Amino acid sequence: MSDNSRTKVIVGMSGGVDSSVSAYLLLQQGYQVEGLFMKNWEEDDTDEYCAAAQDLEDAQAVADKLGIVLHTINFAAEYWDNVFEYFLAEYKAGRTPNPDIMCNKEIKFKAFLEFAAEELGADYIATGHYVRRRCVNGKWQLLRGLDGNKDQSYFLYTLSHEHVAQTLFPVGELEKPEVRRIAEEQGLVTADKKDSTGICFIGERKFKDFLSQYLPAQPGDIETPEGQVIGRHEGLMYHTLGQRKGLHIGGLAEFGDEPWYVVEKDMQRNVLIVAQGSDHSLLYSDGLIANQMHWVSREKPATPLRCAVKTRYRQEDIPCTLTYLNDDEIEVIFDQPQKAVTPGQSAVFYLGEECLGGAIIGRYLRR
């Protein structure tokens, strides 16, 4: 086994089970390990939602149990400027952003990485993400996590091969139940802690209440694709393409009982367009246009490229063909039409186990 005792690793410790076990595994592998807890969101006085204080307490308890130092850092200003402002601007433009992807790009693999390397003398950083890496011809590739249910590569496609070279992902080689088992066996307080869900700064609050604090809502009509007004919405930003829940349409005798789905947001007219039936043709797209294309390898592959794409986390792979339209914009054509392709979300590309990179969906294509 290689001698890791001179290699310093700073583990991002969130107070969750995955990063707790990551720290433990790195110690087992003989590294010099220290933890770093980040605070990215300032709560207001009455905030009972964000569990950051509890998370810090848990991270500290795990660090104490493992006998490692836990540092703390506040990146709330960076988070606000680079993640939250983006999140608001996207919603304002009628799109559905993914702040976790931006957080990985701007905070974990920028602010955190720089701080760990420059201030804490890290040779590597580590996180509890379920992804793996491999070195091919001197270049690091990002791979899906071994546990297909937990794979988090979708959220990490903005990494470069240099980022991947500098980061260890100890739990990416394990299945989640095994991670919990290790935590239990080692008596870590996080062993049974629930996985975090949703967007961290929103927590368990109602999304609508949260967003309305920051963006003024503009009510408008709900129309059928034929232009018949069948209801009112409270603001387009509260709705996502493909959404069924929360439309409050019903009891329209002439339309029958089939549920309604959002098929378009007409930003210019402030109209929400809905259609009936979970298989309505307007829910499907043949492809998409995306921009801000990023390749983990930083080298543009030759296109057209046959690969697989995910347009959402936890989606099955969709076989597709990717073609460049210009330096930054791509067109993706699916082999089979797909439901609810959503502007603002990311399209992430794979070749087998390798996550190649991704781009932000600008619009869907319908023939």
Contacts with ligand ATP by CB under 6 A lie at 12-14, 16-19, 36-38, 108, 127-129, 195-196
* Between 76 and 275, CB nearer to ligand ATP: 76
Q: CA-based angle 196:198:200, to the nearest 5?
A: 75
Is 277 annotated to bind ligand?
A: no
Q: Cis before residue 319, ω within 30 degrees of 0?
A: no
Is 355 designated active site? no
Let me know: does 114 contact 72? Beta carbons within 8 Å. no
Q: Estimate to the nearest angstrom the gap between the alpha carbon of 114 and the chain centroid.
A: 21
Is 200 designated active site? yes
Nearest-approach distance from CB 138 to ligand ATP, in angstroms: 27
Nearest-approach distance from CB 311 to ligand ATP, in angstroms: 20
What strand order describes the sheet that includes 271-276? 229-233, 220-223, 271-276, 260-266
Let me know: does 82 contact 102? Beta carbons within 8 Å. yes
Nearest-approach distance from CB 308 to ligand ATP, in angstroms: 22
What is the rounded end-to-end Cα distance, in angstroms, of the chain? 57
Nearest-approach distance from CB 129 to ligand ATP, in angstroms: 5
Burial class (CB in 10 A: 0-12, 13-18, 19+), 5: exposed
What pairs with residue 125 in β-bridges? 10, 167
* Between 113 and 241, CB nearer to ligand ATP: 113
Let me know: does 233 contact 272? Beta carbons within 8 Å. yes
Residue type, 286: D
Query: DSSP letter string over 201-233?
Result: TTTTS-HHHHHHHHS----EEEE-TT--EEEEE
Residue type, 142: L
* Between 73 and 282, CB nearer to ligand ATP: 73
Let me know: does 129 contact 145? Beta carbons within 8 Å. yes
Nearest-approach distance from CB 59 to ligand ATP, in angstroms: 7
Q: Which of 50, 135, 200, 355 is catalytic?
A: 200
* Between 114 and 328, CB nearer to ligand ATP: 114
Residue whose C-beta lies closest to ligand ATP? 16
Phi, psi of 233 (to 5 degrees): -115, 160
Q: Which of 103, 307, 320, 355 is catalytic?
A: 103
Residue type, 213: Q
Let me know: does 241 contact 342? Beta carbons within 8 Å. yes
Is 18 annotated to bind ligand?
A: yes
* Between 39 and 205, CB nearer to ligand ATP: 39
Residues annotated within the binding site for ATP are: 12-19, 38, 128
Active site residues: 103, 200
Residues annotated within the binding site are: 12-19, 38, 128
